[in-house]
Structure 1
Amino acid sequence: MKRLWIKVRGPLARSRAANAILASLLTSAIRFVHRTTRLAEGSDDIARAIDAHTPAIAALWHGQHLLAPAINPRGHRMAALFSRSADAELNARVAERLGFDVVRGSGGREGRHRAQKGGARALIALKKTLDAGTNVAMIADIPHGTPREAGLGIVTLAKVSGRPVVPIAVATSRRKVLEKTWDKTTINLPFGRRALAIGEAIHVAADATPQELEEKRREVTDALNAATRRAYRLVDGEDR
């Protein structure tokens, strides 16, 4: 099955019709899980966080973010960053169907120089989005890097935009963890409890030095891991 998926993944990713069908199915699944899970006692209020920090940078972990788009209140604008690669197109379509604005980053298979230029363009686009008053959702850890370890990108955006990073974690009591994936991707399942944990906002000074950026990167890592642990404690009493 794995070999078959590897063989068909490329053609599926390039097919607009297949992407549209899969995006519709995944969007419906995410909404279904959100609607059929009851909010755990002690969860934080997303509307209150939006009122307090907008526009802000919502920080999430890879593999723990699949249900996160559904928590965005209806009618509230939120933008998210996606690469220009074919593999990311499906995720972008799902986000759009859930009401997100999509900001394009660098392609997944570009050379280093082009990737750096693409990353810089994405940073500028995200800053403009924040300047316009729209919140931005950003995955804090680097794809296929060290899981649950924030990269410098998110704190650099906080520096140039002057907007805070807000750690956000979502967990459900019923879930399937894909243990062989690099980020331990967690698929949220219906008919259980759902928890939302929001950490304290983290600000980065406009004149922050490289050393201070590294300190803020560690602060984001610690705060987002703490929010993740709290979300899991709320649904089943265990850290993850």
Structure 2
Amino acid sequence: MFRRFLKSDAIKGLAGLLAALYIWLVYRTSRWTVMNAGQAHRYLANEDPFILAFWHGRLLMMPTVVLKKSKVHVLISHHADGEIISRAIGHWGQKSIRGSTSKGALPAIKDMLRVLKDREIAVITPDGPRGPRMRVQDGVIRMAAMSGVPVIPVSFSSTRGKCLSSWDRFFVAKPFGKGVVLWGDPIHVPRKNEDGAYDNAKKEIENQLTELTQQADTLCGQVPVEPDDCSPSQEFKNKVT
């Protein structure tokens, strides 16, 4: 009965509303500093399409980083919490595309490519939905190569908040803090994988996102989160757990 209660549409709707209100509370009661936003804001102001990328663990405040008028579509998995996230961002005027770049990848990528063709913003967590933490998967590379639009990384941290013990070390910002939003530089992925182009782009996205996240944590007095160990034994463990 309790499981059915949690799966009910009304409960998911309430949870999504509460999550959206919490994001609003943190955003409005904190003082935010935005850094290196020039190029990203030009894309937003000109309504030029791009792929917005951030680590899964920094998902909470991401509905606040784009301009209010921007048309945003977020790739959200079919996992249990996906519906709550979808409803939460809906209250911020953002739309969701259900699926992932691993399970059921083709329909999800097609939908995201359509969004980019319509000159809108496609949002993806390159290490989601299950990790390894802070390690870029192939989906974002395929999407950028096929669409021809850049990947722009972003991250945030706050002086008031903590990382959970989840696989992604999900960062929960708290109200009345000082936060920073750090944007990275646009990363272009060639259409053809020549001379290791895809691997190079993958490393660049991963390095920028990790540097941005760790720099944001340092500026806010938080202990920087480290990427997951991607040794074969650890990667296998992540797949089967």
TM-score by length of 2: 0.84
Equivalent residue, structure 1, for 2:192: 207
Counterpart selection for 2:26 from 14, 21, 33:
33
2:151 corresponds to which letter in structure 1? V
Contact kept, 8 Å, 1:53 with 1:164, in 2: the verdict is no
Shift in Å, 1:83 = 2.2
Residue 42 of structure 1 and its aligned partner are, at CA, apart by 4.7
**Contact kept in structure 2, 1:78 and 1:135, CA below 8 Å:** yes
Q: Cα deviations across residues 40-72 of structure 1 (Å, max 9, x unaligned)?
A: 375646634523783100111011121111222
RMSD: 2.4
SS at match of 2:220: helix
The match for 2:117 is: 131
Secondary structure at 2:20 match in 1:
helix
SS of the residue 1:202 aligns to: coil
Correspondent of 1:151 among 137, 141, 156: 137
Structure 2 distance, partners of 1:157, 1:42, is 26
Structure 1's 211 and 131: CA in aligned 2 closer, same or farther, altered over 3 A?
same
Structure 2 gaps, min length 5? 226-241
Q: Distance in 2 between matches of 1:225 and 1:106?
A: 21
State the AA in 1 paired with 2:32. L
Match of 1:162 in 2: 148
Which of 43, 49, 52 is the aligned partner of 1:55?
A: 49
Is this contact kept in 1: 2:163–2:172, CA < 8 A?
A: yes
Cα deviation for residue 12 of structure 1 reads 4.4
- Residue aligned with 2:162, SS: strand
Shift in CA distance, 140/41, structure 1 to aligned 2, threshold 3 Å: closer
- Quote the offset at 1:38 in angstroms: 0.3
Is 1:100 aligned to 2:94, yes or no?
yes
Residue from 16, 19, 44 that aligns with 2:12 = 19
* 8 Å contact from structure 2 (residues 29, 175) kept in 1: yes
Taking a change above 3 Å as real, the CA distance of residues 42 and 206 of structure 1, as seen in their structure-2 partners, is closer
Shift of residue 86, structure 1, vs aligned partner: 3.9
Q: How far does residue 209 in structure 1 lie from its aligned partner after superposition?
A: 4.2
Secondary structure of 1:236 counterpart: coil
**C-alpha distance 141-35 of structure 1, shift in aligned 2 (>3 A):** same
What code does the residue aligned with 2:119 have? G
SS in 1 for 2:56: coil
For these two proteins, the number of residue pairs brought into alignment is 224
1:195 has 2:188 as partner: no
Matched, 1:172 2:158: yes
1:207–1:12 Cα change, 3 Å: farther
Q: Deviation of residue 210 (structure 1)?
A: 8.7
Q: Describe the superposition over 1:129-180 as per-residue Cα deviations: whole angstroms up to 9, x where unpaired.
A: 00101011100113332101111111110000001000100111100211x2
The separation in 1 between residues aligned to 2:10 and 2:130, in whole angstroms, is 28
Contact 1:13-1:86 at 8 Å conserved across structures: no
Does residue 72 of structure 2 align to residue 78 of structure 1?
yes
Does residue 166 of structure 2 align to residue 181 of structure 1?
A: yes
Contact 1:150 1:217 survives alignment (8 Å) = yes
TM-score, length-scaled by structure 1: 0.84
Confirm or deny: 8 A CA contact 1:30 1:67 kept in the other structure: yes
SS state of the match for residue 40, structure 1? strand
Q: Which residue of 2 aligns with 1:4?
A: none
% same residue? 25
